[in-house]
Structure formats: structure tokens, C-alpha cells
Amino acid sequence: MKTAISGREKSIVKKGNKKKEILCDSDSLSGSVSQRACVYCGARVVLNPITDALHIVHGPIGCASYTWDIRGSLSSGDELYRNSFSTDLKEKDVIFGGGKKLSLAIDELVQIYNPALIFIYATCIVGVIGDDLQAIAKAAEKKHGIKVIPVESSGFIGNKSAGYRAACDSLLKLIAPEKPLETIPGSINLLGDFNLAGETWIVRKYIEAIGLHFHTAFTGDSSSETLKTATGASLNLVQCAGSMVYLANKMEEIYKIPFIRISFLGIEDTIGSLQTIASWSGDQLIQEKTDQLITDQLDGIEKEMKQYRTMFTGKKAAVYVGGGFKAISLIKQFRDLGIEVVMIGTQTGSKDDYRQIESLVGEGTVVVDDTNPAELERFIKQKGADLLVGGVKERPLAYKLGIAFIDHNHDRKHPLVGFEGAINFAKEVSWTLNSPVWEFV
């Protein structure tokens, strides 16, 4: 297939072509207008929703400024995480080291905010000047009697996925109990949900409704307290696998907590996930409650969904999102609405994700990894998409092309998980597709 960029051929496949596996999870090409972010970004988005943590970014100001409260993760308690803290490294710190400044900043911030927990993020420059974050964190922990956890997130050491792993390593340090916790039967952690627009709350409501105990999410609306209970869970649910499968594996290895992959995006996957959880429990009562929950919820949305299912016949969607699970769920969700996905891609999907994506999409659908605006434009036009699903940087691109758009990233303003999320999604598709503004284009 002709691609926009030579050197990117292997990152694009078209379903129906002769067997060829997509190239993914590799470094971006130098000089491309990549939509991807860095290690620090990956680490920050995973850890940021921990509400009572003080997140110090050790570096020049930019990294702290750009990540100030942009995650859209909601809190039911503390709001400390929504502030921005930076050591604001200057030229002389780069030359002489920024370690002292960091220690001093920690002391001051502890005085002002008295936090339960501090994360120190390494940025690019810290990786080069070699400040010893481990030692500084250790000393600060001793001095202040709180958890101070360094995050090895120098931007250049890999891509966003490496940041996810760095965050998971930090989380492992945080959840490690002093003495092993007793496992609570029928208790659950939810990994890879960040409570965007209150989504964790919806999943938690379902989990509790079917009679299971909810420990904590990783990391939506979590706190140092809830996270410390995590190792007492009997099951980990993994939603955003891209960011969390590593943690799930580690928790299985260390704490013998098994995990299953679920997704609460779209009706099909929500039902499937609830049933998987119920059958894992092996408990007749839970099974019954689950069936009841599904029936009730479906009843509640049936009428409205029915309307939407007739509205979009013949419409085509393009999807470019961060992780694989979201892409997979979206294909099903669009199918439910009668919309065909004609182009789909992710920033950080794995080979497994892409295999699943390819098995779900129709013949001729373009599948891309780590794409760029030029390719997005080309495939949107070529495939005649009426709607793009993406994040901040894709929105104006879609609009310029005169097609509808849905934010499925940090800027979403209503929850998209569960049954109510499915309705919200359908509603949003309808609003954007049917807006009168397109008539003026």
C-alpha cells in the first residue's frame, strides 16, 4: 500500500491484504509529526489521578506546566493532585546538579501541604545530569515519615509505554504492604481506569451492585489509603491493558492475584465483562445479581438506544486512540450503532491488540500504528469517514476536514463507560454527526 511516509509502510496494514503483521511499539521516525508523547507523559497520566499525592516534576518548567490538571480525572476527596509542582530547574542547576533544590522543595511542600504521598518525576534533563532521585526520595521519606516515590520517567528513555511501566514500578513500591495482607474473598481492583468524567464511579457501582467488594482503581479516584489495600484483593480487572498489564502481571507474580482483561466501553463489552467477572466468582448469587443488573440496565436504555441504532445507517468512522483496548471496544460499539469503522489506529497498541483489531474490522479497513496528521487525512478522505474519534490534537484536524469528531481522551466531558456511557456515546455521535454546522462547510 502506498503510505504517506516512507519507512512507515510496516506500521500500516489493510485488512484483506496478504498476511502481514503490523509493526508497533517501536520508536517513532525522526522528523515525523508524531501524535505520540514521551515516557514522562506516560508515567504522569497513569499516576496523576491519585488524588492525595503531591506530584513534583523535577526539571525545567515545561513538563509541569503542560501536565497541569489536564487529565480530566475526577476526585471524590482530595484535590492536591490537581496542582502543579516543579523544581523549575535553571541553567546553574543543570551545571551543578538539581538534587539540593529538589530536597529543599520537598521540605517546603511538605510544610505547606502535608501530603500523604509524594511522587518525584524525572524529566529528560535529570536523566542526563544524573541527580540521584532514589537517594533524595529515601532521605525525604526518613525525614518526613511519608512515602516519597521516584518515577524514572526521563523522556528519552523510550516512548509512552515505557512511561506506563515506570509508573507501574512506582505503584508497586506504593502498594507493597509491610506485612502481607489477608486476601478478602470476592474483592476486586480495577486497573487502567482513570475516572475520566467519573467513569470509575460507574464501574464501581456495578461491581458493588453484583455483590463484590471494590478495593481501589488504578488509578482513578484512588488515594494512598485505597491503594495500600490493593494487595488484599482476590482479582484484578484490567481495562486499559496498554498501561496496566505490566502491573497486573507483577501483582500476579508477587501477590498471587490473578487478573482478567475487561472493558466497560460499549454495551457488548460491558455485558461481556460483567459476565466474565460473575463467572470468575463462581457464586450463584453473584451470577444472579449480575444477570439482574444487566437486564435492568438494558431495560433502562433500550428505548433510547433503539432510536440511535436507526439514525446512523451508512455512516463511517475513523478511530485513532491511545490504547488497544479502547480501539477494540470502539469497533464493537460502532457496530452496535450501525456504523462501520473504516480506519483504526492506536499510539501504543500491542501486537495482540492489533491481531484482535484485525479480526474485528471489515475487509479493506486501514489499520495504523503511531500515525500522523498526513496519514490521518489521507485515510479519512480515502475511506470517506464521516466521523473521527481521537484526542486533543486530532480534533481540529477532523473539523478542518469538515467531519464530525468525538473526544475519547482526556477532554471527554461525560462518562463513556457502562450502559449510561453507551447512551452518552450514542448521543454524542448523534450531536456531532447531525449538527447543522456541517451544512455550511
Partner 1 sequence: MLDNTTKEIRERKSKGLINPAKTCQPVGAMYAALGIYKCLPHSHGSQGCCSYHRMHLTRHFRDPIMASTSSFTEGASVFGGAANLKASIRNVFTIYNPDVMAVHTTCLSETIGDDLPSIIGGSEVPEDKIVFYANTPSYHGSHVTGFSNMTKGMVQHFSTATEEEKKEQVNVIPGFVNPGDMREIKRILSLMKIRYIMFPDTSGVVDAPMTGEYVMFPEGGTKIEDLKDTGNSKATISMGLSASADAGLALEKKCRVPNYTLNTPIGVKATDEFIMKLLKIGVSKVPAELEEERGQLVDIMTDTHFHFHGKKVAIFGDPDVVISTTEFLLSLGMVPVHVLTGTPGESFVKTITEMLDHAGLKANVKAGGDLLMFHQWIKNEPVDLLIGNTYGKYIARAEDLPLIRIGFPVLDRSVHSYLPIVGYKGAMRIVEMVSNALLDRADRDAADEDFELVM
Span 380-399, contacts to partner 1 by CB under 8 A:
392-393, 395-397, 399
Q: Considering the rule CB under 8 A, would residue 402 count as an interface residue with partner 1?
A: yes
Place of cell 500504528: 369
The nearer residue to partner 1, 248 or 397, going by C-beta atoms, is 397
User: Sign of the CA dihedral 192, 196, 201, 202?
Assistant: negative
Closest distance of CB 1 from partner 1, Å: 16
Size of the site for partner 1 (CB under 8 A): 77
Contacts 24+ apart (CB under 8 A), 155-158: 155/38, 155/39, 155/40, 155/41, 155/63, 155/123, 155/124, 155/127, 156/38, 156/39, 156/124, 156/127, 157/39, 157/127, 158/39
Q: Transcribe 381-422 into DSSP letters.
A: HHHT-SEEEE-TTTHHHHHHTT-EEEE-STT--S--BHHHHH
Instruction: Restricting to residues 19-58, name those near partner 1 by CB under 8 A.
Output: 27-41, 56
CA dist 274 and 291 (Å) reads 9
CA dist 246 and 353 (Å) reads 15
Closest distance of CB 125 from partner 1, Å: 5
Beta strands 12-14 and 366-369, pairing class: antiparallel
Instruction: Restricting to residues 223-282, name those near partner 1 by CB under 8 A.
Output: none
Closest distance of CB 25 from partner 1, Å: 14
Instruction: Restricting to residues 99-128, name those near partner 1 by CB under 8 A.
Output: 101-102, 104-105, 107-109, 111-112, 123-125, 127-128
Binding mask 52-91 for partner 1 (x = CB under 8 A): ----x--xxxxxxxxxx----------x--xxxxxxxxxx
CA dist 277 and 270 (Å) reads 11
Among 23, 129, 260, 305, binds partner 1 (CB under 8 A): 129
Closest distance of CB 109 from partner 1, Å: 8
Closest distance of CB 244 from partner 1, Å: 20
- Helix ranges restricted to H, 99-240: 99-113, 124-129, 133-144, 160-175, 199-209, 224-228
Closest distance of CB 117 from partner 1, Å: 17
Contact 188, 235 (CB under 8 A): yes
Residue 160: C-alpha distances to residues 48, 103, 211, 237 (Å): 15, 27, 36, 22
The nearer residue to partner 1, 178 or 439, going by C-beta atoms, is 439
Closest distance of CB 34 from partner 1, Å: 6
Instruction: Restricting to residues 136-165, name those near partner 1 by CB under 8 A.
Output: 154-159
Closest distance of CB 341 from partner 1, Å: 21
Binding mask 337-376 for partner 1 (x = CB under 8 A): ------------------------------------xx--
The nearer residue to partner 1, 4 or 23, going by C-beta atoms, is 4
